[in-house]
Amino acid sequence: MYKIQTLNKIAEKGLDLLPHGQYEIASEFNEPDGIIVRSFKMHEMPFPISLKAIARAGAGVNNIPLERCSEKGIVVFNTPGANANAVKELVLCSMLLASRDVVGGVAWTKSLEAPADQIPALVEQGKANFAGCEIKGKTLGVVGLGAIGALVAKDALALGMNVIGYDPYLSVDGAWELSNDVQKASGLETLLKSADYLTIHVPLLPSTKEMYNAEKFAMMKPGIKIMNFARGELFKEDDLLDALESGQIGAYVTDFPTTKLIHAKGVIPVPHLGASTEESEENCAIWASRQLKNFLESGNIENS
């Protein structure tokens, strides 16, 4: 009997792939053979000798102590691409929220206290405070053209945007497979200088940590709107707060709110919802369960 520990809520559709007679699944175990985790931070967690594999139901693995895993021979899987569509849809939604003040407008409308027959007139007076701009014809910079970035680029083209992309890790041919209409930036600086909107889809690594700082913000067009559904630590927070305050950054939609960012000017804080759809949670759980099953039963290491 294999023991599988789940450190977060994992969709049943995935766990159902681990047959009952052969697998025991629980949120607490002394000696699990495998772990399925979503965002739980595992850095402080002791790893028992029984543990053979960890499956991350998601893309980013920065919540897993990879060095300790490799020292102990624990195999780590992730499910890149399984939640890409969910993240892409929220990036597109955020780009529109950063352009049209729906968030402010809805809050204001709900706060209206007036007799019913006066509401329509109040709405007509108040709407001038929430006017926005259109995304059609604007330039979207996409940094990172993996599963999510490539989907965002493709659909932004369909919305009438100009799209410029940059990915230091993909060959030029691989990166542009989805559309020839995506312009190829010769470097990050070129992209940052031309974007009206910026979306970032790179992993958090020592080399990418705080790479968006005052120097990079100064290269950008004043008032740029940024969507961060990758990781909060890609941005140097104090520099970001200064750039928001001065208006150099016009809007910052982040899936990784912090105490300082929540109330800062121009910030739309989202509670890490990028991958939170029924479909994406099921996909990730299915991939993760399949990976663990293959590995525990046959020693196969497949990352999809």
Residues in contact with ligand MLT, shown as a per-residue x/- string from 275 to 304 under the rule CB under 6 A: x-----------------------------
Q: Calculate the alpha carbon distances from 47 to 52, 74, 110 in Å.
A: 10, 9, 50
Q: Count of residues binding ligand MLT (CB under 6 A)?
A: 9
| Residue from the set 60, 232, 257, 269 that interacts with ligand MLT by CB under 6 A | 60
Give the shortest CB-8-to-ligand MLT separation in angstroms.
Answer: 8
| CB-based contact 28:52 (threshold 8 Å) | no
Q: Which stretch binds ligand MLT (CB under 6 A): 52-60, 88-96, 156-164, 216-224?
A: 52-60
Q: How many CA atoms lie within 13 A of 92 on its CB side?
A: 20
Q: Which stretch binds ligand MLT (CB under 6 A): 53-61, 88-96, 155-163, 179-187?
A: 53-61
56 versus 138: smaller Cβ distance to ligand MLT: 56
39 near ligand MLT, judged by CB under 6 A? yes
272 near ligand MLT, judged by CB under 6 A? yes
Which are the contacts of 72, defined by CB distance < 8 A and separation ≥ 6? Answer: 47, 51
71 versus 279: smaller Cβ distance to ligand MLT: 279
Tokens 């030029």 -> residue: 172
- Residues 68-97 within binding reach of ligand MLT (CB under 6 A): 83
Give the shortest CB-276-to-ligand MLT separation in angstroms.
Answer: 6
| Residue from the set 7, 11, 59, 161 that interacts with ligand MLT by CB under 6 A | 59
Q: E strands of the chain, at which residues? A: 2-6, 23-26, 34-37, 53-56, 75-77, 139-143, 162-166, 183-184, 197-200, 224-228, 249-254, 267-269
24 versus 282: smaller Cβ distance to ligand MLT: 282
58 versus 250: smaller Cβ distance to ligand MLT: 58
Give the shortest CB-83-to-ligand MLT separation in angstroms.
Answer: 5
Q: Write out the two tokens for 197.
A: 């909107």
231 versus 236: smaller Cβ distance to ligand MLT: 231
Give the shortest CB-233-to-ligand MLT separation in angstroms.
Answer: 13
Instruction: Give burial (CB, 10 Å; 0-12/13-18/19+) of 193.
Output: middle
Where helices occur in 112-258 by DSSP H, the ranges are: 119-126, 147-158, 172-175, 188-194, 214-219, 237-246
Which are the contacts of 191, defined by CB distance < 8 A and separation ≥ 6? Answer: 141, 143, 164, 165, 166, 185, 198
Q: Write out the two tokens for 53.
A: 């594999």
| Residue from the set 32, 34, 58, 165 that interacts with ligand MLT by CB under 6 A | 58
| CB-based contact 92:157 (threshold 8 Å) | no
C-alpha span between 105 and 114 (Å, rounded): 17
35 versus 241: smaller Cβ distance to ligand MLT: 35
76 versus 195: smaller Cβ distance to ligand MLT: 76
- Rounded to the nearest angstrom, the gap between the alpha carbon of residue 179 and the centroid of all alpha carbons in its chain is 22
Q: What residue ranges bind ligand MLT (CB under 6 A)? A: 38-39, 58-60, 83, 272, 274-275
